[in-house]
A and B are shown apart, each in its own frame.
Chain A
């Protein structure tokens, strides 16, 4: 029997101070175009330093006891910009502008031609991750809908068409990631929550296109934005039950900071829920019992064998010792509930 309540990150882990200017990273919106000036290691050594930071992120996850391990997204300035700026059809040297979910303009790639994937972007990353842990591994890719919202469309007649081409690029990437050894691939679609009408109109269609012909275990992450940047949270998602109809197998949601009414999970009865149980706005490390209580809150609405225990969102902006402590608390909290369930 598979272990109940396996633990996992959503995707990112805290990057080391020596690798990237964390103060600068935190003082701005997540970069949508490249922000190479954030890196603190000379270009000649940057790849080795990113590899080493990845090994440390893997080690921290393993030491904390996580069952599913990511590469911590150490090589990324943001969850989306590394992939989004590697595509054909986008001009990143002369960026456009789009409103961030906070309503502020942020420089974004300008779409000036047909969007397509030039080459695999994260395949080396997943190979590196596969080579360096024996545990189950997960890779994240930015979702087509979110990328279409983080772009200035100067080419397509309508945004849906653009989103579908983004989906084509993501689809090719996902297939390559599974071929290279990924156990789970997660599509990050935070903007489905930020733009629910558009998400309903063509976001789901783009998501399904991204999954076309994919046979591996796929997840989707939807959230209210980084706690470090978006401070206020609604108590419910504006876009979530819609995912019941998608072929995606796992849905990653935040419940800790938002104090989410978990009843909504009943509408996702065919999905595994990656349950956010760490509040990333609070730099105090949760007690295992607090995590356990957050897991128990979901149990009336989701069968235990469909729950993966996770933080609310990426740990990128947390101080590393806090991030590590929270992972440990999460593992301990899951252990408490696992023991209760086995009685």
Chain B
């Protein structure tokens, strides 16, 4: 029997409970250095509560009917800062500064030495996820290019050299995650879209270095920024078709909110597309038929066997009930089109 068409999955994050983290402050900026004071919990108990929040995130995904499960990134202040600040060579106590994608200066890790992974960062997270669901699991790691853009370089002669060392750290992490049972590892590289020239110059190199010797299923997520933070989105990516030449086998893109022209998918003929069909700027839960329509739009451009159904981006900033409703709509929408395809 062929694999199920249109399997459903989150991109990565799911809303964190109000009792765990200060969601009002969290939604004001995306932290690049550590922001320990966002957590509402005594540090002694933080891991236990993060575990509980993770179980809730898993349960919500299973109940909604998702086929691929993430840990919802409940332990993270942002998708990238937990990994980025755990590395050797970065000074997070005396941060530097960079412009975020909205053009505002934000504190970032200052790179003061050779970047190296000191220890596995997400290994326990993956083990916990693996132990608590029987479904295929995906875990996300921040991409080397994005981390290099979210840092102040005071050590390397070139940003490319720095990005390649970030890539080596990510490579170590990815191999450890697959060894521990990950079915899919996703590299989050939103800043490739933000800095397309640099991404072409050395981002792809760094990505391929991060995948060196990796045999598991790897995805790359690119987006226009969190809907909660970035409001106007172009209808086309500035950097996307370049990924056809990468070693990643799945590409996660947002298509719902930007009403993306899906003709671009024809430039990724060898890739599985993680298709964003949930608009995260709209707090109304989509009707399943709306989701189905968004899926159908991709079908002229990508074979059904190569499509995974997902939200546009991480659901971190959504109210939990909205996020849950949107997951259900996504599952129902995928079921509609699956039925149509099997009738053909």
Contacts and interface: CB of A to CB of B under 8 A. Distances in A.
Contacts of B267: none
Contacts of A48: 17-19
A58 B45 CA distance: 23
A48 B40 CA distance: 14
A18 B45 CA distance: 7
Interface residues of A, number: 15
A64 interface: no
A49 interface: yes
B338 interface: no
A284 interface: no
Q: Which DSSP category, helix, strand, loop or mixed, fits chain A's interface?
A: helix
Contacts of B56: 52, 55-56
Q: Which of A53, A59, A132 has the most CB of B within 10 A?
A: A59
Nearest to B59: A59
B197 interface: no
A18 B48 contact: yes
Given A41-B19, A45-B18, A48-B17, A18 B52 contact: yes
B59 A18 contact: no
Interface string B16-31: 0111000000000000
B63 interface: yes
A17 B19 contact: no
Interface residues of B, number: 14
A65 interface: no
Given A41-B19, A49-B17, A49-B19, A56 B63 contact: no
A325 interface: no
A327 to B, nearest CB: 16
A16 interface: yes
B296 interface: no
Contacts, number: 37
B5 interface: no
Contacts of B55: 56, 59
Contacts of B18: 45, 48
A18 B17 contact: no
Interface string A43-72: 001001100110110110000000000000
B52 A56 contact: yes
Contacts of B116: none
A21 to B, nearest CB: 12
B41 interface: yes
A111 to B, nearest CB: 36
A58 B18 CA distance: 20
Contacts of B48: 16-18
Contacts of B17: 45, 48-49, 52
B49 interface: yes
Interface of A: 16-18, 41-42, 45, 48-49, 52-53, 55-56, 58-59, 132
8 contacts: A17-B48, A18-B48, A18-B52, A41-B19, A52-B53, A52-B56, A53-B52, A55-B56
Closest 4 pairs (CB-CB, A-B): A45-B19, A49-B19, A59-B59, A18-B49
